[in-house]
Amino acid sequence: MKQSTRNEVFATIGMDLGDRHTNFCVLEADGTIRKESRVRTTKEALAAEVGVTRCRVVMEAGQHSPWVSRLMAEKGHEVVVVNPRRVRLVAESLKKSDRSDAAMLARLAQTAPDLLMEVQHRSKEVQGDLNILRGRDALVRARTLVVNTARALAKGTGEALPRCSAAAFSKKAKEAVKQEQKALLAPLLRSISTLTQEIKVMDKQVESLAEKHQAIEHLQGVPGVGSLVSAAYVLTIGDPHRFKKSREVGAYLGLVTKQRNSGQSAPQLRITKAGDSYLRRMLVTAAHYILGPKGPDSALRRWGLSIGERGGKAGKKRAVVAVARKLATILHRMWVTGEVWQPQGVASPRRPRQRRRPA
């Protein structure tokens, strides 16, 4: 929210967005409720309910908030999209309802706007490009489910299908399946083949995104970062200059540990998992490759392996998260400065200075 608009006197509208209906609460400048209403979640109904008089419209980030926020901005209103994690009064209220949620959002935006963590939505074009990645991810997940089901059904009859990649599964499994199993597995194998073809089509769409966003191709120089990971990174981050330091990207993506220090207690907690879960999963996948047997030698790999050597399985998990967090930092630095990946230099962690002993 811009500082210049916070002190202006106009109505504040809290919107609790739902799939079918949206609840409104309109507050006057003095905090009194002017109107409460409930309308259908459509462009026409929302625009008519808000009107044309300039207002401050506040809503939680969610599935509908991108297009609703753009609609409200086009109508000339000041739009505030807040992080649901910061609005605990709404989520943990003892008397929770859509009507009370809308009123609480309006009062928070009017009386304590600095406490809200505002969310900046992507443009319609970038959101469309990102939907290509999410659509492909849905197809891959569906294929994995069907492949696992086919293997389980075959195993239940005492047979085991050949080990192979998901892309080659339908062909190799069709050759290996026995006659008595064909009637059972044939529909699954056809579905897997169809999904594989659709994934290949979407792979070409992902590769074409590099023509629209130059940074995608530049970031692919890092081992483990292909067209899919680099496209997810560029499209999710959007504007790299909104981060003052490259290290802030790791926290933005939920790759830093939680902190609940109190007195002498400082427990080791899990990562926050805040931010975009899809990009976080992509970075973790890239980290697995970097630390895996096929990962090329680099300072980043050696640093991650040194962490994994301490603590057994827990150490290996910490190493993967640490490499994913460091990778997010490196990609941001390369994006902002235009630097090229240097295996022996870019990823080397800072070492503490050694004090010289007096002569």
Give pLDDT tens digits for 188-244: 999 999 999 999 999 999 999 999 998 999 999 899 999 999 999 999 999 999 899
Residue 250 domain-assigned (yes or no): yes
**Residue where a domain stops, chosen among 212, 237, 268:** 212
| Residue that wins the pLDDT comparison between 7 and 92 | 92
Among 187, 212, 237, give the residue marking a domain's end: 212
Give pLDDT, residue 91. Answer: 56
For residue 348, tell me if it sits in a domain.
no
Are both 26 and 110 inside the same structural domain?
A: yes
Confidence class for position 2, pLDDT limits 50, 70, 90: very low
Closest CA to 49 of 22, 30, 27: 22
313/323 Cα distance (integer angstroms): 15
Same domain, 227 and 294: yes
Residue 357 lies in a domain: no
Domain finish residue from 71, 87, 115: 115
* Nearest-angstrom CA–CA distance, 247 and 329: 5
Same domain (yes/no): 106, 205: no
Give the residue numbers spanning the domain of 257.
Answer: 215-337
Indicate whether 352 belongs to any domain. no
**Are 24 and 137 members of one domain?**
no
Domain at 32, CATH number: 3.30.420.40
Would you state the pLDDT for residue 331? Answer: 96
Q: How many domains does the chain have?
A: 3
Do 104 and 170 fall into the same domain?
no
Q: Are residues 59 and 102 in the same domain?
A: yes
- HSE-CB at 106 with a 13 A cutoff on CA atoms is 28
256 within some domain? yes
pLDDT at 278: 95
Say yes or no: 231 and 321 in one domain. yes
Express each pLDDT in 163-198 by its tens digit: 999 999 999 999 888 888 888 899 999 999 999 999
* Same-domain pairing of 48 and 102: yes
For residue 209, give the H/E element and its range: helix 179-212
Is residue 67 assigned to a domain? yes
Task: Give the burial class of 153: count Cβ atoms within 10 A of its Cβ; 0-12 exposed, 13-18 middle, 19 or more buried.
Answer: middle
What is the model's pLDDT at position 109? 80
278 & 169 share domain: no
Residues 232 and 293 in one domain: yes
- Residue 346 counted as domain residue: no
- Residues 236, 303: one domain? yes
pLDDT tens for 247-295 read 999 999 999 987 666 566 656 678 888 888 999 999 999 999 999 999 9
List CB contacts of 86: < 8 A, sequence separation 6 or more: 115, 116, 117
- Cβ-contact 133, 206 below 8 angstroms: yes
Domain contains 60:
yes
pTM to 2 decimal places: 0.77
Query: What per-residue confidence (pLDDT) applies to 89?
Result: 57
Contacts of 286 (CB under 8 A, 6+ apart): 222, 224, 225, 229, 324, 327
Of 83-87, 171-175, 302-306, minimum mean pLDDT range:
83-87
The per-residue pLDDT for range 33-60, each reduced to its tens digit, is: 999 999 999 999 999 999 888 999 999 9
Same domain membership, residue 145 and residue 62? no
